[in-house]
Structure 1
Amino acid sequence: MKTTIYALSTPPGRSGIAVVRLSGPSARDILAALLTEPYPVPRQASLRSLHTATGDVFDRALVLWFPAPASFTGEDCVELHLHGGAAVIDGAITAIESAGGCLAQAGEFTRRAFENDKLDLTEAEGLADLIEAETEGQRKQALAQMSGSLKQLYEGWREALISVLASIEGEIDFPDEADVPDALAHRAYEPISGLIFSIELHLADGRRGERVRTGFSIALIGAPNAGKSSLLNRLAGRDAAIVTDIPGTTRDIVEVRVTMAGFPVVICDTAGLREAVDAIEAEGVRRALDRAEHADLRIGVADARSQSELLDLKGRLLDDDLLVLNKLDLVSGKTGGAGLGVSAKTGEGIDALERRIEAIVQERLGARELPALSRARHRRAVEAAHSALLRCRTRLADAPELAGEDARLAVRALESLTGRVDVEDILDRVFSQFCIGK
């Protein structure tokens, strides 16, 4: 028999309201042990006095009672909306434990909801992302996922695959039946090709969903003293990096997180690119080049007075990267239009640069018709299904038995996304990321 769990679902510390939740078969009995007044009506907030085991009143609070299965977890649930003082919370926890409640583990409420078919694994992950969301873009993506956008996508692929598998196994199991054509498996070719195309569209989205969750990465690269650290400070709106006139001041990666166009953006200041004078600087240059290679956007920063820096950066930037010519305050006349002119010292041109970056972020991360794969776990499973389907299509004509096995592998990969396959290590990893009380 399952235990009845409890947890403080609001942040610890003094507050106006503190919410303690209970879920499990004894939730009603535990609440009854705290009450001397009539039991509350289901799903209706009721003001009640709450008592300790010795009969002392520890608070007068709102009480909500959710009988199973019409609750978040699918079990009997109780919520106590207490006054948020530490003594009140301690009194509630002591009384609940005395009545048989057990402290919940991280994500245990949501895991019980998953186990009771109240939501699938992608919806549970969307809920976790919604709790962690810091930007509008993250909120919108998490809310869509929690509402079932990815579930519908993955379940649609799975249902189509099951139909394909039925066609293949029809030929394998009933090869001589009059009502089963000899080339029944060949009928699966077009549906499989359609699935492969749909999956490839989602895999080719530039990891949009993952970037909305973790942040769009921008690397500032350029020669020493080009003004990368000063530009970072301007974009961050604070002194995040040390700025001096000494070349090579920045040795390691300096990161700041900002919000642009409603999305999280991570801007990285890197070591100046030049022939290193010592081992420490050499490692800094190596890290700068590595970060630039893996960044979503590279912003090359050159001294507007230096043609050599400009030429060097043009060889390092891609077509969709940005080139910034810094130190306009030291330039007489125009820069020639080779890049965006700014002065990190005076702020000239910074607004235009920010607008350009925001436009790029919006273009790459903005809402699309297709739901985005939001986690690396999703991408790995979809890639596994894609590989299995490619093998399945190749083997249809000559080895339908092997094609059928590949189709089953693809189904299993998709089922792992929604939690239909009980892979315990996946479940443990997902729910361990939740906060206590959710």
Structure 2
Amino acid sequence: MQSRPDMDTIFALSSGRLPAGLAVIRLSGPAAFEAVRAMAGDLPPPRYMARRAFRTPTGALLDRGLLVIFPGPASFTGEDCAELHLHGGKAVVAAVSRELANIPGIRIAEAGEFSQRAFTNGKFDLTTAEALADLIEAETEAQRRFAVENASGRNATLYARWRDVLIQGRALIEAELDFPEEDDVPGSVSPQVWASVEDLVREIDAHLVHQRSGEIIRDGFRVAIVGAPNAGKSSLLNALARRDVAIVSDEPGTTRDTVEVALDLEGLKVILTDTAGIRETTGTIEREGIARARAAADRADLVLLVKDGTGPAAPDAAWPAKRTLTVWSKTDLLDDTDSRETSPDAIRISTLTGDGVADLVARITAEAVKAVARTADPLPFRERHVNELTAARRALDSFIHSRDAPLELAAEQLRMASDSLARIIGVIDTEDLLDVVFSRFCIGK
């Protein structure tokens, strides 16, 4: 769908925070070239940078910089685009922006409006737009690589292929319903449709199995530090973070709320959560802190159960289906004859001397890497995608179990599933089905 000819031309600072060595102001829309011509004189050839002096209508110099133009549709937004590369001072950008805003039909862009216009003009699909947003927000190497892979359009290609299977199946069923007497419409096509849908369901199931890997890469591998009061949880958090992020005190119940810190381990984002000590208490605030501790452990991908190596044995907390590592703390206070738990999942550390901390970091890193181990196939990387895929899966399950139902109802289940896939990539086209029917069966000859 093309933009309206009367759509406003928009502009915005598209480079980083000011002041900076360079500032880039981007324009997009039907009046983009007219606007920069008014400020800079003649335009350079498309996609070639040229040095220009940018002036006000009265001839006052604003700045000297570089100008480049991108005629539509061969531009990021699909519209006529221009970029002004200026000196990165706040006053310079403010002055140029003020002059642009004074030109009729030109306004400051809203958040994400350049990308929205690019999507509207068919430059990319919704999954690519979301991946570009992830790329901008990437904090770790794994997040960057994942966003770059997703921005290639691989997910959209996969979902579009699945949708084509459903559209083809629905076309076959409706052709059998509506044109049973046509010579070029094969009879009894429904069995082959059921077989193709069953294959598709297996593909979707295999795709959804890896959804947590995508979530961990984007949002982080969550590690909850839990244990009894004064077990050394906050000291452990500070040691892992290599800075004081949590208050450490001998007084039980010091930590009342969760404290989080993010680490970059082997390119993966790992979020550590210090929690309140778990014990029986009558204090309202402390009970709330303990409830939050248990909730953090329930959300975590890995639980570090911290036990005081110098104190009496504490009862183990159980988190079903959770990976748990036992950490014996304060081992600098123990003598060599002490015998504490030595199972493969137990690590002895001292936050005072640093002994064992590196080993614990290595164990956490290994668990995080294992959690995102995956094939080179595309992964669902947004909750929105998972929700739509799950809805499509439900509709296909209903279709598979509707062999004895009227074909009209079966076709409706295929429509619902294909619409769910279309919503992921942002494509809902009611003409798709008709195109398939006419091209495959030559109906209306």
TM-score by length of 2: 0.90
Q: Is the 8 A contact 1:235 1:354 kept in 2?
A: yes
Query: In structure 2, how many angstroms separate the alpha carbons of the residues matched to 1:178 and 1:90?
Result: 70
Q: Shift of the alpha carbon at 1:378?
A: 0.7
2:382 to 372, 375, 379: 375
What's 1:299 paired with?
A: 304
Letter in 2 for 1:227: G
Q: How does 1:229-308 map to 2 (within 5 A)?
A: 229-306=234-311, 308=313
* RMSD (Å) for aligned C-alpha atoms: 1.8
Q: How does 1:118-197 map to 2 (within 5 A)?
A: 118-175=123-180, 183-197=188-202
Q: How does 1:40-189 map to 2 (within 5 A)?
A: 40-100=44-104, 101-175=106-180, 183-189=188-194
Query: In structure 2, how many angstroms separate the alpha carbons of the residues matched to 1:366 and 1:52?
Result: 57
Number of aligned residue pairs: give it.
419
Q: Is the 8 A contact 1:170 1:184 kept in 2?
A: no
Letter in 2 for 1:320: R
Query: In structure 1, how many angstroms separate the alpha carbons of the residues matched to 2:367 and 2:416?
Result: 38
Query: In structure 2, how many angstroms separate the alpha carbons of the residues matched to 1:191 and 1:283?
Result: 52
1:396 to 367, 380, 403: 403
Query: In structure 2, how many angstroms separate the alpha carbons of the residues matched to 1:197 and 1:312?
Result: 40
Aligned CA distance change for structure 1 residues 341 and 285 (closer, same or farther; 3 Å): same
Q: Shift of the alpha carbon at 1:179?
A: 6.1
* Other structure's SS at 1:360 match: helix
Q: Shift of the alpha carbon at 1:95?
A: 2.0
Query: In structure 2, how many angstroms separate the alpha carbons of the residues matched to 1:421 and 1:323?
Result: 51
Matched, 1:210 2:219: no
* Other structure's SS at 1:106 match: coil
Query: In structure 2, how many angstroms separate the alpha carbons of the residues matched to 1:186 and 1:360?
Result: 45
Query: In structure 2, how many angstroms separate the alpha carbons of the residues matched to 1:148 and 1:16?
Result: 33
Q: How does 1:295-374 map to 2 (within 5 A)?
A: 295-306=300-311, 308-309=313-314, 311-313=315-317, 315-316=318-319, 318=321, 320-332=323-335, 333=337, 334-338=339-343, 339-374=346-381
Q: Shift of the alpha carbon at 1:164?
A: 1.9
Letter in 2 for 1:233: N
Query: In structure 2, how many angstroms separate the alpha carbons of the residues matched to 1:278 and 1:39?
Result: 72
Note the alpha carbon deviations across 1:318-341, whole angstroms, 9 max, x for none: 463211111211222343413111
* Other structure's SS at 1:396 match: coil
Query: In structure 2, how many angstroms separate the alpha carbons of the residues matched to 1:340 and 1:174?
Result: 71
Query: In structure 2, how many angstroms separate the alpha carbons of the residues matched to 1:222 and 1:317?
Result: 16
2:419 to 412, 418, 427: 412
Q: Shift of the alpha carbon at 1:12?
A: 3.8
Q: Shift of the alpha carbon at 1:165?
A: 1.6
Structure 1, unmatched stretches of 5+, are 423-438
Q: Is the 8 A contact 2:391 2:417 kept in 1?
A: yes
Query: In structure 1, how many angstroms separate the alpha carbons of the residues matched to 2:187 and 2:118?
Result: 46
Letter in 2 for 1:158: R
Q: Is the 8 A contact 2:262 2:269 kept in 1?
A: yes
TM-score by length of 1: 0.92
Letter in 2 for 1:29: E
Q: Shift of the alpha carbon at 1:263?
A: 1.4
Q: Shift of the alpha carbon at 1:198?
A: 1.0
Letter in 1 for 2:70: F
Q: Is the 8 A contact 2:175 2:185 kept in 1?
A: yes
Q: Shift of the alpha carbon at 1:86?
A: 2.0
* Other structure's SS at 2:323 match: coil
* Other structure's SS at 1:264 match: strand
Q: Shift of the alpha carbon at 1:34?
A: 0.6
Note the alpha carbon deviations across 1:63-84, whole angstroms, 9 max, x for none: 0011111110010000000011
Q: Is the 8 A contact 1:52 1:91 kept in 2?
A: no
Note the alpha carbon deviations across 1:231-251, whole angstroms, 9 max, x for none: 111111111111111111111
User: Structure 1 vs Structure 2: percent identity of aligned residues?
Assistant: 44
* Other structure's SS at 1:137 match: helix
Note the alpha carbon deviations across 1:165-184, whole angstroms, 9 max, x for none: 22322332234556656542
Aligned CA distance change for structure 1 residues 78 and 367 (closer, same or farther; 3 Å): farther
Q: Say which structure, 1 or 2, has more relative contact order (CA 8 Å, 6+ apart).
A: 1
Farther-moved stretch of structure 1 (210-219 vs 127-136): 210-219
Query: In structure 2, how many angstroms separate the alpha carbons of the residues matched to 1:285 and 1:16?
Result: 49
